[in-house]
Amino acid sequence: DCFTYDPGFMSTASCQSTITYIDGDKGILRHRGYDIKDLAEKSDFLEVAYLLIYGELPSIEQYNNFTKQVAHHSLVNERLHYLFQTFCSSSHP
């Protein structure tokens, strides 16, 4: 990936968003209408991910299903374990 360093936000475009609202002068940051401080204190990562994707906080059933889906797609193929064993344990990352 390539990132552009843009001190002062001088040549970076901004846009309207229905997902996130930012008012830096007032110290406001909201995701889908929820204050980020409330989300940080009361929700976990997957609840916020669900909110950002689907536009609402999940019910318990939705959260459980979403968690299972994420876990399923996070599984590492067994063949990768064999690949990792071929790396020298003292190699630089």
User: Where in the chain are the domains?
Assistant: 16-85
- The residue type found at 43 is S
Which of 68, 63, 38, 42 shows the shortest CA–CA distance to 53?
63
Q: Which tens digit of pLDDT belongs to each residue from 46-92?
A: 999 999 999 999 999 999 999 999 999 998 888 988 888 898 888 88
Cα(36)–Cα(19) distance, rounded to whole angstroms? 12
CB-based burial, 35-44: b 16+ in 10 Å, e otherwise = eeeebeeebe
**Total-model pTM:** 0.69
Helix runs in the chain, H state only? 36-42, 45-54, 60-73, 78-85
Type of residue found at 14: S
